[in-house]
Structure 1
Amino acid sequence: MVEHLLSDQGDQLRLTPNRSLSWRGNIHVWLGLLAIMASINTGMWLAGAWVILPFAGLELVALAVGFYLTARQCRRQELLLIAPEQLRLEKGIFHKEMEWTLPRRTTRIHLVAARHPWTPPRLFLLHQELEIALAPFLNMDDTRLLVNILEGKGLRVERRQPDQGVWF
């Protein structure tokens, strides 16, 4: 998702992955699966197949870990500040973990075309030998929107074809 924020220093963009379900929604889905599995496992236990109970518990734990890790990664965000003289990119999950400040005049933006029609193109900020991936979690529509915003702010986006190799 691309959000345009107002800032004293320039234009600021907040880039986040799309979140189809909140943390509370994830918990509700997990509890629903727990209820279904508990009823099935109770029937199996009453039928004498008690050996499946530990595996059902492990399955629920693995599912909970998967929900947690996915929800955590969906909390990632990047803030891109487009000031008259510089670009500042901040990345993090719950707080700023990494930050780059690059001169606007000599920083290039590369748009690497997708290798497959179902995958979005990739964006990179390039300055001298430094290459920083820009919002790799965006879908195709959000990537197009971000490119349009960047070009509208006067930044030059160079389009490249992907390197040869596997399609994904």
Structure 2
Amino acid sequence: MVERLPHPDGFRLILTPNRSLSWHGNVRIWAALFVLSALIATGFTLIGAWVIIPFAGLELVALACGIYLTSRACQRQEVLSFSRDDIHLEKGRKRKQAEWTLPTRYARLRIQSPPHPFTPAKLSLTHRDTEVSIGGFLNIEDTEKLIGLLEQNGLMIEHKEPDPQIGLWF
């Protein structure tokens, strides 16, 4: 998701992954699956197939780990602050973990075309030897929205063709 906010010297963009459910919603889904799995495991145990209990438990633990890791990854965010002189980029999850400052006048947005039409373009801010990827978690529509916002606010755009891939699927 791309959200534009006012900033004292310019504007600020907040980039976050799309989140379909909150943490509490994910816990409710897991709890419902736990109840369903417990009912099924109890039924099988009553007819003598007790060996299903450890497998049902492992399945629920694996599901809980997957939900936790996915929810944790969706907490990432990037904040781009634009002023007359600088572009300030902050990345992190729940707190700032890394930051970069690039001069607005000489910074460029590098757009690497996607190798497949169903994947978004890879974006990065560049200046001299510094190249910082941005919005790696955005979908195609949000990536295009971000490119449009950056282009209309004067950031120079540099297009790059995708790297050739050698593999099973060409």
TM range (shorter): over 0.9
One-letter identity of the residue aligned with 1:114: P
Structure 1 Cα separation of the partners of residues 146 and 162 of structure 2:
19
Structure 2 Cα separation of the partners of residues 99 and 128 of structure 1:
17
What is the aligned partner in structure 2 of residue 25 from structure 1?
Answer: 25
Instruction: Say how many residue pairs are matched.
Output: 168
CA-CA distance at 1:9 after TM superposition: 3.0
For the pair 1:144 / 2:144, whether they are aligned, the reply is yes
**Cα-to-partner distance string for 1:36-90 (whole Å, 9 max, x where unaligned):** 1111101111111111211211111111111011011111100001111111100
One-letter identity of the residue aligned with 1:61: V
Matches within 5 A, 1:17-166: 17-165=17-165
Structure 2 Cα separation of the partners of residues 73 and 164 of structure 1:
29
**Cα-to-partner distance string for 1:89-117 (whole Å, 9 max, x where unaligned):** 00001100000011112211101111111
Conserved 8 A contact 2:107-2:156: no
| Structure 2 counterpart SS, 1:84 | coil
Runs of 4+ with >3 A deviation: none
| Structure 1 counterpart SS, 2:56 | helix
| Structure 1 counterpart SS, 2:4 | strand
Could you tell me the TM-score, scaled by structure 2's length?
A: 0.95
| Structure 2 counterpart SS, 1:64 | helix
CA-CA distance at 1:163 after TM superposition: 0.6
**Cα-to-partner distance string for 1:118-149 (whole Å, 9 max, x where unaligned):** 11111011121221110100000000000000
Could you tell me the TM-score, scaled by structure 1's length?
A: 0.96
Structure 1 Cα separation of the partners of residues 159 and 26 of structure 2:
38
One-letter identity of the residue aligned with 2:87: L
Aligned-residue sequence identity (percent) comes to 51
Output the aligned Cα RMSD: 1.3
> Which ranges in structure 2 are unaligned for 5 or more consecutive residues?
none
Structure 1 Cα separation of the partners of residues 24 and 9 of structure 2:
36
Structure 2 Cα separation of the partners of residues 47 and 11 of structure 1:
65
> Which ranges in structure 1 are unaligned for 5 or more consecutive residues?
none
